[in-house]
């Protein structure tokens, strides 16, 4: 595997995403507004509760969890379903398939530049802001390393799910509907909307057996735990690795089978 050709795509992606400086500004304003709303909302919620700790989470825990979940979301959301869907509708997919690179890889690496710029422009500032706003409530130790490893696997699982969902567009000619269903399922069942700890019992157990919690809940719970037991870390990361492989295989196989379905009008 020649890494150089992939990194070229990454570089192009960074340059491309830095072109839209105004949209970047809008995004920053949006994020600040969002942080404010989330802060006040959860503050009001916790003020109304009788206890400081609900389901093992304090107000600051919940705040960090929710805010970083949304930062992770804007960092990981690559609009892959739209990209694949549009390519299918316009017929551009044929040109992409002719490229001397596997389509799944090509798509990932051409978006990897956005990853890099989003990481530094959205995720890091949010992380620092939340860390300062909560008075250094994010523990700084080995958990940061676990978190980093975990996020890498989150990206992989998330990409596999996106690619799988995008492949469905080969059959349905519906992009919006398919994408919104995926988004709703992933955001709710991964704990990105409401921390997993708040879910009622049978639901919580079911969610731990699904791949979605590995995307948001796994890295975030690793980050918030300042003194993690080695066993817990191993189980969390192991589960993630398992889902990485399973989802990778499923999305690849599904794509291979579905490619036979392609019909492009004219071109």
Partner 1 sequence: MKTTMKRKGLIFYLRIYGKILAQDLKSKMSYRADFIISTIGMIFTNIAGFVSFWILFRNFSSINGWGYYEMLFLYGFSLVSLTPVQCFFDNNWSLRQYVYSGDFIKYCFRPINLFFYFQSEVFDIKGLGQLAFGIGTIAYSWANMDLPFDALMLLKLIVFMLTASLIMISLQNAAAATCFWIQNSFYVLDLVFRFKDYAKYPVTIFSPVFRFIFTFVFPIAFIAYYPSLVILRPDEVPILSWLSPVIGVIFFFISYKIWMYGATKYSGTGS
Q: Is 206 a residue that touches partner 1 (CB under 8 A)?
A: no
Stretch that binds partner 1, among 30-38, 98-106, 156-164, 244-252 (CB under 8 A): 30-38
Nearest to 66 by CA among 28, 48, 40, 47: 40
Asked whether 237 and 150 are in contact (CB, 8 A), the reply is yes
The correct pick among 94, 95, 176, 249 for binding partner 1 (CB under 8 A) is 176
Q: Is 173 a residue that touches partner 1 (CB under 8 A)?
A: yes
What angle do helix axes 124-133 and 21-48 make, rounded to 10 degrees? 30
Distance of CA 203 to the CA centre of its chain: 22
Stretch that binds partner 1, among 38-46, 93-101, 139-147, 209-217 (CB under 8 A): 38-46
Smallest distance, partner 1 to C-beta of residue 10, A: 21
Asked whether 212 and 162 are in contact (CB, 8 A), the reply is no
Stretch that binds partner 1, among 42-50, 109-117, 134-142, 159-167 (CB under 8 A): 42-50
What is the secondary structure of 227-255 as a DSSP string?
A: S--HHHHHHHHHHHHHHHHHHHHHHHHHH
Contact characters 127-166, partner 1, x per CB under 8 A: ----------------------------------------
Shorter beta-carbon distance to partner 1: residue 156 or 165: 165
Q: Is 261 a residue that touches partner 1 (CB under 8 A)?
A: no
Shorter beta-carbon distance to partner 1: residue 37 or 97: 37
Q: Calculate the alpha carbon distances from 266 to 4, 88, 94, 102 in Å.
A: 35, 12, 11, 24
Q: What whole-number distance in Å separates Cα of residue 87 and Cα of residue 71?
A: 28
Shorter beta-carbon distance to partner 1: residue 149 or 194: 194
Tokens 């802001």 sit on residue: 129
Residues that bind partner 1 (CB under 8 A): 20, 22-23, 26-27, 29-30, 33-34, 36-37, 40-41, 43-45, 47-49, 54-55, 172-174, 176-181, 184-185, 187-188, 193-194, 198-200
């Amino acid at each position: 595997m020649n890494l150089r050709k992939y990194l070229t795509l990454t570089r192009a992606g960074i340059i491309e995403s830095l072109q839209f400086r105004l949209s970047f500004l809008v995004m920053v304003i949006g994020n600040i507004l969002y942080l404010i709303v989330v802060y006040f909302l959860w503050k009001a919620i916790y003020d109304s509760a009788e206890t400081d700790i609900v389901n093992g989470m304090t107000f600051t825990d919940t705040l960090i969890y929710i805010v970083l979940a949304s930062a992770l979301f804007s960092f990981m959301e690559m609009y892959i379903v739209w990209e694949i869907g549009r390519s299918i509708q316009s017929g551009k997919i044929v040109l992409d398939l002719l490229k001397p690179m596997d389509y799944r890889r090509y798509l990932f690496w051409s978006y990897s530049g956005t990853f890099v710029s989003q990481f530094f422009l959205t995720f890091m500032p949010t992380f620092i802001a939340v860390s300062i706003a909560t008075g250094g409530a994010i523990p700084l130790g080995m958990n940061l390393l676990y978190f980093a490893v975990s996020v890498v696997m989150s990206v992989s699982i998330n990409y596999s799910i996106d690619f799988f969902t995008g492949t469905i567009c080969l059959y349905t000619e519906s992009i919006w509907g398919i994408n919104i269903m995926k988004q709703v399922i992933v955001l709710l069942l991964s704990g990105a909307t409401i921390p997993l700890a708040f879910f009622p019992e049978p639901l919580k157990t079911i969610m731990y057996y699904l791949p979605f919690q590995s995307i948001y809940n796994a890295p975030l719970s690793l980050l918030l735990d300042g003194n993690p037991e080695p066993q817990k870390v191993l189980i969390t990361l192991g589960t993630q690795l398992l889902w990485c492989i399973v989802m990778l295989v499923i999305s690849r196989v599904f794509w291979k089978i579905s490619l036979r379905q392609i019909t492009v009008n004219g071109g």
